Every structure is written in structure tokens, then in C-alpha cells.
Amino acid sequence: MRTSVFPRRYVQGPGVLRQLGPELSKLGKEIFALVDKMVIDQITPFLDSLAPLSVTIRPFTGHCTHKTVEEIAAEALGSHATVLVAFGGGSVLDVGRSAAAAASMAFVSAPTVAASDAPCSGISIVYDDNGVMAGRLSLRNPDLVIVDTAVIVKAPVRFFAAGIGDGLATWYEADSCRRSHGPTISGTAGTLLAHAAAELCRDTILDRGRQAVRDCAAGLATPDVDAVGEATVLLSGIGFESGGLGAAHAIHNGLTMLPATARYMHGEKVAFGLLASLFLSPRPDSLRRELFSFCADVGLPVRLRDIGCDGADDAALATIAAKACQPGANIHNEPFPVTEEMVVTALRAADLYGAAYRAD
């Protein structure tokens, strides 16, 4: 059995938020807008132009917790909305997706950063009140994803680079699942379409990512930014959800166990997880050179210190490896057995290899 999941509709390009009214009207007339406080001044003009739609604006800051989801769902129902649209980064989108599901509303994902492949996903990460990951909810994929690249390039370029890091891992992990017959998030085998999307994601990122990062840093919504944005949001979203995850995300999960890594972004930790995974099995050195050089060029981590880790701290490396290799972890989707000792060795090898690409 094979499964693919998708958002119902995907719209992208510079200025597409000006088409928000016609897009939302296909789903309903009563709108509840959950907006990250960091971008509310930027987004409010688009919402003010939505007449004759009725819009309730709810500023948001914080994590996606069960309590927060319940509160937002209750507020959305109280507003008599039939559509919940979330504007912001991963936390706001997770809350919006979860609250829309709880309230049985249509959900619209409107990311204001391209920092991960989460906008197209049906997955929400839930945290406890201390900000520690408490679980994962498998929900319905968005009814609409709308990505305005003119908004994306106004965010710090670090967000865009992190999305590249997350997306770069997609094909390598999906390929591991294909070779090992490992399950996707849906619990089934991946589809040909998912693997094709993952491969196109990789090729687009490697071919156009360097220029896209330069353009994004300059605030320019160029064709390269548009192409790489589509790769990291749409292609990677389909590729990871319907192709499967592997060592890169497992090592990311291990890295999150160290408080010193908390200030680093999901995609930054996934990128180093991918680089470390290149040392779990024999790989051509040309591949290692290609990926380390690319990550260094776009500002992604290539050494442990780049994500707050001390490569000489044996206990820290053991903690990462233990989490990465726990029963049921994605690392067991690799087409060979992986042990904690192998992960520790791979982390050290990647750290040593990366030193040649960043000297400071």
C-alpha cells in the first residue's frame, strides 16, 4: 500500500496575498485570522482589504500546547468563523492547524517565513508548558497554502536558509526509506510522486539555492527565490510527508535534547543531521564535498559548534545518539542497522570534515 497526501490548493508568488480575498471566499465568508504578533503590522493591511468577508483578527505569540489549541479553537468558534487562516512561522501554523481541526473549520496556511516544509503538512508539533516537545498530531492537510514571496524576503535570511537545510534532507531521507522499505508518516510505503518531488526539491536547492540566498538577503523576490521557496515549502512538504524521514531528522531530534541547541532553528539542526548521516555508511567523497560546500555557502552549520555543541563533550554526544537511536526513531528507516556508537562516530567525523569549510 502506498499513500500520498497534499494540501488541497497551493498558491505562490510575489504579491499573491493581494488575491487573498478571492482565495478565501472559495472556502467561506466568516474568517478567523490567527496572526503572529511579529508580523501583524505587515499582514493587517491585507486583512483590512477583505470586505465583504467578515474577519476576526487574533494576534498570537507562544508555543503550540494543548491548552492553547483549545483556547484558540473556542475563540474561533465563538467568532462564528468557518475558515481559520494562520499567518506566521511554524508555531502559529501548528496552533492554527490544530485549532481548525478541533473546531471542524477549513484551514489556510499562510507562512511569512520559508523556514521549513511545515506549511503544507498535516502534522502539528505540540509542546508542554515548558516548551519541551510533548507529541505530534496527525491532522488534515491545509485546504489552502498561500506563500507570498514578497513577504518571505522581508524576514531575516537565516529563516530562508533554514528552510533550505530542512528541504535539502528530504530526498536523502526519502531515498533511505525507499531502499529500506521504511514507512512514511502515514505508515505506508512512499509513492513515485513523492520521490520525484523529493528529487526535484534536492536538484532545485543545489542548482539555485546559493543565488536564492543572496537575493533573499537583499530583499529581492527573484525567480530563484520563487523556485527555491517552492522547493522548500511544497516539494519538500510532499516529499517528507509521503516519502519518509530518516537519519537527518533523527539526529535533529537528538540535538534538541541539549539546551545549548535551543536557539538554533529546526532546519539548521536537520542540515547538520544530514551531514552527519553521510558518515554512517560508505559515501563518495564527492557527495560529502558537494553538501558541505553548499551548506557552508548558504550559512548552514557544518560543525558541531555551529549549532551550540562541543565536539569534545562525550556525554553530550552520547545524549544525542541515544535519542536518535531510540526504538521507533526515524534513523531505523536507513537501509542498514544504526547503533548509538555509529552516530557518535558520525557526529565527530562530520565535525572534523566541516572544519575545512569554516575557519573561525
Active site residues: 166, 249, 252, 266
Q: What is the number of other CB atoms lying within 10 angstroms of the CB of residue 10?
A: 19
16: three-class secondary structure by DSSP: helix
95: three-class secondary structure by DSSP: helix
CA distances from 32 to 73, 148, 179, 223, 227 (A): 10, 19, 44, 32, 30
124: three-class secondary structure by DSSP: strand
Radius of gyration of the chain (CA): 20
**Contact between residue 227 and residue 112 where contact means Cβ atoms under 8 Å apart:** no
Q: Peptide bond preceding 52: is omega within 30 degrees of 0, i.e. cis? A: yes
46: cell is: 491585507
Angle between helix 247-255 and helix 314-324 axes, rounded to 10 deg: 130
87: enclosing H helix or E strand? strand 83-88
Q: What is the number of other CB atoms lying within 10 angstroms of the CB of residue 132?
A: 11
